[in-house]
Structure 1
Amino acid sequence: MGFTAAAGFVFLLLSLSVVQGQNDWGVTFTSTRICAVEGSTVDIHCSYRYPSRINGNVTVVEEVLWFIKVKENLPVDVRTDSEFAGRVQYDGDKNDCTLRITDLKPSDSAVYSFRFITNQPGGRYTSEPGVTLSVTVFQVQVNKPYPKAYPTWAVLTCHSSCQPFNNPSYIWYKNGLKIQEDTSFIEQYFDEADSISCAVKGHEKFSSPSVCVLHETCNRVIYTERSVCVSKGSSVNISCTYNSYYKVTSKFWFRPERGPQWKNPSQSEDLRTDSQYTGRVQVFETERGRSTLRITDLRETDSAQYQFTFRTSYFEWGSSLHGTTLTVTALQVQVIRVTLLQSYTEAELKCHSSCGSAGRLHYVWFKNGQKNKTQQTSTYTDHFYPGDNVYCAFRGHEDYPSPSVYPSIRPSVLVSPSEIVEGISVTLTCSSDTNPAAKYTWYKRNQSLPLSSGDIYHFTSISSEDRGIYYCKSEDHYSVDVFVDVQYPPNLPSVSVSPSEIVEGSSVNLTCSSDANPAANYTWYKENEESPKASGQIFTITDIRAEHSGIYYCEVQNIRGRHNSTLHLTLSTVSPFLRNLTTKMNRIRLSLVVLMLISLLPLTLWLRKKTTPLHSTTEPTGCKDNIELDACPAHEDVSP
């Protein structure tokens, strides 16, 4: 139920969401191409959808799986594939379908498809084709452009088969020490003993193997495994191979963070002298140039990074490169799914650890103390009767198993009231026969609910968003899933008309949609008409006429209420061709009128100037002192 593994690095080549499916069924991928580095962790994200109801029956998802293989026309769940033993986990909240793969290997490169099965007849869906995962390894490529003139000059490139990072900054290491950052290549003089490695900044854990620049023999250290995961109380071997251009005078294993703070990492404390490891550490060589660190009686505090160093009279191996990461885990059995039958319980169990990379470990299951010789994966499905107990262990470490669980003893969930309507108060009660009283945890579709440590989970005012599958956990026992179906009246419906411009004789669709539970019934009416025009979400009018114009409204109704919305349907009597032609002609006429007015403006001004009267400035005789206007005769200048 959720991930406890360390987060990995996911690198998307295609960031656009890709939707597969039709109608109400389908799968949406965040990306269809992913590139990741060997040894890292990748999350493949997707979401899926399906009808909430079919013929009145609530749809419940019964099974989900990811696969890359098909056997006898059936997909093989990657959780049961031995190649992925302990390395895959499913995560899902509501309709999320995320696959996590840890400790990636080049052989994991494949196309991953998702499939889900519901309780409806024929209610199953498989994505096609799926998500393409490419697993790459960083490598140093050596080029000697001037072998004769400059025999020790070389150009080195940090290369990968695909691009797992966007705009990366690179880090270079010479003889285990960091020397340069930022660029994907370096060029300089090298000594015969030099080895080189590269990594991407921020992801130094996934550096390339060290390579000799000039000769086959040089100073270098290569760790056999990037990460190791083992169970608490067991033993572990951590190995590396090393070469020295000179005679080695001393060598040892250490934890970088446990050395004296005033010393550099290569002066860290030899684990054989570390008080935390007294009597629990051995270092041996089974062959020349191969060193193995063995730690026994492992504790969770032993989880750390381990590195190897050697010294000569002229040289000391640097320790900037990442070593091997050890994770020590305590196993637990989780009850994933239970089905209560008449006389027994069918349960799916999972052997869970906190490791982010348990890929090379196989599992062993024990039922009532007897080893199951056929079950080697992290999941186990069987029939259980009262009194049956089950535990698991890593193969080869059977002396350090998980605590036992009793799959047939499980709590039950009571929902009150039985009929749930949005806005009311609802109580979920988890009960079991455990004594003393158990601690409870509540889940909604694989996602733990906050503030839910008691046997009662309460909704003061339940909403439609609370609809879903719930179950509770008592210690290591999970209850049967309970579907909480929240009913609510239809929301205000959304109405639309297509096409937007309606021409006489064409076909028109009026569409109405509304969210409701139970599903709503749709009825179409026209204003001032009592009888309905149609039923269903889409009302189609073929060969539309002028009498079809008017106001329509859609009514949605279920047992919890009703709602309606209106729309105006207007019929255009002019065809689109004639309407466009008329618009163009009107524009042409307007342009001609404007041009004529502009051309006539100078002539109009000239004529106006010519016809303006010129008044005499000479006063008439005898009228100078006359203040009565009518006593003076009118004089006009009639000259041209």
Structure 2
Amino acid sequence: MIQTLFYVSGVEYQTCNRVIYTDRSICAFKGSSVDISCTYSSYQTIRSKFWFSPERSHQWQSPSQPEDLSEDSQFAGRVQVLESERGRSTLRITDLTESDSAQYHFRFTTGSFEWRSSLPGTTLTVTALQVQVTRITVHQSDTEAELKCHSSCSPAGRLSYVWFKNGQKVTGVETSSFKGRVYPGDIISCALKGHENYGSPPVYAPKLPSVSVSPSAEIVEGSSVTLTCSSDANPAAKYTWYMKNGDPDLQPLSKEPQLVFSFIQSSDSGEYYCTAENELGRRTSDYISIDVTYAPKLPSVSVSPSAEIVEGSSVTLTCSSDANPAANYSWYKKNGDPDLQPLSKDPQLVFSSIQSSDCGEYYCTAENELGRRTSEYIYINVTYAPRLPSVSVSPSAEIVEGSSVTLTCSSDANPAANYTWYKENEDSPNASGQIFTITDFRAEHSGNYYCEAQNRRGRHNSTLQLIVVAGETVIS
């Protein structure tokens, strides 16, 4: 009880102006109705009285002058003030919304007094119903769950509830709890009986998750890439990310809605998927393909056949490089003219009948729009039989009997040739080696000499005729 003291002509009069609220706080469900009551009295005749809410002061013409709640547009058609007995006022608000949560005060005036106590009135809290889900058992095609229609209010008395499944009332259930099997696509909600239009938000298993990638343009190695998984679900879904063909027994790549590659690598290319799960079920997304582009890696070069290369055979050099998009290749010969056209613009450089002149070091380049790499050198060694040997004589002037004569044989060959010297009509060789020296040339040494150049690829002979005349040897 609140008393007010007045002073008139220096004389103190104790009078009793009072407002007593029935409830200091009330909690009510969204969509329901509430009665907020008080008793009031005054020693003077009350001229006006109304209910107001301080939280609505922003709508008043003057913030210091409360206005009648029944004239507030927010409450139009939803407010009644009832006077069931003298000195008792009841504010009835119907079709409650959460925005109605506020303090409510009663105000009255007399000819000389205005009740505007700053003390709290009645605090109203409007709360919506929520479905709480407790998973019991997960089956292959459905989930067995217990659902509870819950509110932060603790209403007095027994309330009746209505349960809805896929828009249809669940018959035979009027309690706050409901047990049942929930299938993918099921939508479940609850409401207070008689207030079905103010039901709880529906609960349901996750819908098919959608996946997105950022950036949506080309993904370049070394850049930052984020995959995002989202699914409509209530309760909210928990997310998990996996890579296709990964080990399902390993830990997931992420347990967040986003899978972030801060510095993506070519090895991260592949197909990814996510799962969305809540207490009512689990759904798996479609695959999303991640194609990481990158400049060519160091090219590798190979030669076929890998065995010894023989002149006249077919030889293929192959260049290969890991690149995305695929690389374009070019072949070059070391010390070749860089301004000339490449030997080949294909991954393979083919010699259909390789020649000794093709011996040398070769290299290739691999190039795409992201970069260019050059291979290491590969040496091509072409083997061939000795060419026609050439023979030289020293001295090259007249050869005098008794002098020293040196014969030299040379032949282009790979591998290098071995040399043997023969005299015509003699079966046994006269000497071996590239150089054959006769230190004391005599008449009996006259004759036809030739050398044989030989390697594992073949042999070739050369002829030299020596003639001795009158103590001199003439070479022809």
- Report TM bin, short chain: 0.3 to 0.5
More strand by share: 2
User: Which is higher, the Rg of structure 1 or of structure 2?
Assistant: 2
More helix by share: 1
